[in-house]
Amino acid sequence: MLRLAAPLALAELGWMAMGVVDTIMAGPLGAAAIGAGSLGSILFYPIAICGTGMLLGMDTLVSQSFGADDAHDCRCTLVNGLWLGLVLAPALALAIWALIPLLRAAGTNPRVMELLAPFLDALLWGIVPLLFYTAFRRYLQAVDIVKPVTFALVSANLVNLAGNWALMYGHCGFPAMGLTGSGWSTSISRCYMAAVLLAAIVWHERRRGNLLFRIAWRPDFARMGRLAGLGFPAALQILFEGAVFAVVTVFVARLPEAWLAAHGIAVNIIATTYMVPLGISSAAAVRVGQAIGRRDPHGAARAGWTALLLGALFMGGAGVTLAAMPRWIVRIYIGDPAVIASGAVLLRIAALFELFDGLQVVATGALRGLGDTRTPMLAHLAGYWAIGLPVAYVLCFPLGWGAPGIWAGLSAALILIGSALVLVWKHRVRSLAAG
């Protein structure tokens, strides 16, 4: 499990690092550029990541076929994952593009809008390679090939860094494109990531008889439907989780600015720790799916429980660290005493849910390996929107707790979601063993 999970966790951290680099390099362009870049990312990523979530069903189908030693079926799922990506791309691009006139109508700062529109236009060119990269990645990790995934994302950070330097600031003969250059650099990096994984697949196929290039590449609408059926709940889960953090950020924006800054820093910290169990979750989906494919229910149970143990160990350690040294961690980001004090309060609350955040994401992956993407979606809908968000609002405003009340509501949601999904997993593996 560690051999599979560690490279995937490193890849997730590499994905997050790309956004950090973009923000840092936009700094010299001024506040409007930073604001437009942040707003563009907030608009682009939830929609794009929902699209990639539609391809998460590949974890289930490819890993189960691989476990059953059905190489032909693995490759058929890859081909139809690519077709599904092509179908999704125009809809995602249209949804993102349609937000621009809405923002203008809402009275968004004209200078920000002037920079935002061409930045988003440049990002849109990266949607197809992003979806292809996702399909290639889900296929490769499901057949136990993960090193190219890590290499692609880590090296893509260098491509993005060089692209930002050349295109944003006009080096190497390129015009200085400002924030738009960052958008083009991001799209180029996604093309690069897709190309690296395609090269890995081609190299792998040459060693295995080029089966991929001897099967029919026509779309199989039944298989695409199965992928969409598995992926749609996963995409909704991503949407529910991302949207709730957007809503609570709007809540915090009504509070003094020190709390807003502390909230942003705390979200960045917990998002970073989340990347590790997210990688473990992908490994859990693969290992559980492979065991199901070879009709080994006890192997599926061992894989899921092992992944949950790894996730619990890491996130438990992360929680202890956040509780023990919150001021030191916040001070890495900023020196403002008010923000440090506020951030320390939020991180101590976050320490309470770190363990459960790890359990819920790993359990989600293990259940996906079984072919269950609906239960995690329902758990996130109920936990965040029926419980966490109302509790956060009541504690923040009517009861006057402020930002700590919002984070207490998030803690309640994650504790419930994590506990519920572990119990569901326990029930499912007992049913497998009995059946």
Q: CA–CA separation, 428 vs 370, rounded Å?
A: 9
Burial 46-85 (b: 16+ CB within 10 A, else e): bbbbbbbbbbbbbbbbbbbbbbeeebebbbbbbbbbbbbb
165, HSE (Cβ side, Cα atoms, 13 Å): 7
Measured distance CA(285)–CA(278) in Å, rounded: 11
Q: What is the pLDDT of residue 108?
A: 65
Q: What is the CA radius of gyration of the chain?
A: 22
pLDDT at position 181: 93
pLDDT by residue for the chain (435 residues), tens only, comes to: 999 999 999 888 888 888 778 877 877 877 677 667 766 777 788 888 889 999 999 999 999 999 999 999 999 999 999 999 999 999 999 998 888 887 777 676 677 778 888 988 999 999 999 999 999 999 999 999 999 999 999 899 999 999 999 999 999 889 999 889 999 999 999 999 999 999 999 999 988 888 888 888 999 999 999 999 999 999 999 888 888 887 887 788 788 878 888 888 888 889 889 999 999 999 999 999 999 999 999 999 999 999 999 999 999 999 999 999 999 999 887 888 998 999 999 999 999 999 999 999 999 999 999 999 999 999 999 999 999 999 999 999 999 999 999 999 999 999 999 999 999 999 999 998 886
At 279 the pLDDT is 94
Is the dihedral angle over the CA atoms 225, 362, 6, 327 positive or is it negative? positive
| Stated pTM of the model | 0.88
**CA distance readout (Å), 264 to 194, 245, 259, 343, 408:** 31, 10, 9, 9, 16
Q: Give CA–CA dist 16/132, Å, rounded.
A: 19
Q: How far apart are CA 215 and CA 299, in angstroms?
A: 31
The C-alpha atoms of residue 33 and residue 37 are separated, in whole angstroms, by: 6
Q: Give me 3's structure tokens.
A: 């051999």
Query: Quick one: which of 349, 360, 354, 345 has its CA closest to 391?
Result: 349
What pLDDT does 428 receive?
95
**Token pair 């955040």: residue:** 357
Write out pLDDT tens, residues 155-169: 999 999 999 999 999
Residue found under tokens 């609350």: 349
| Cα three-residue angle 20-22-24, rounded to 5 degrees | 70
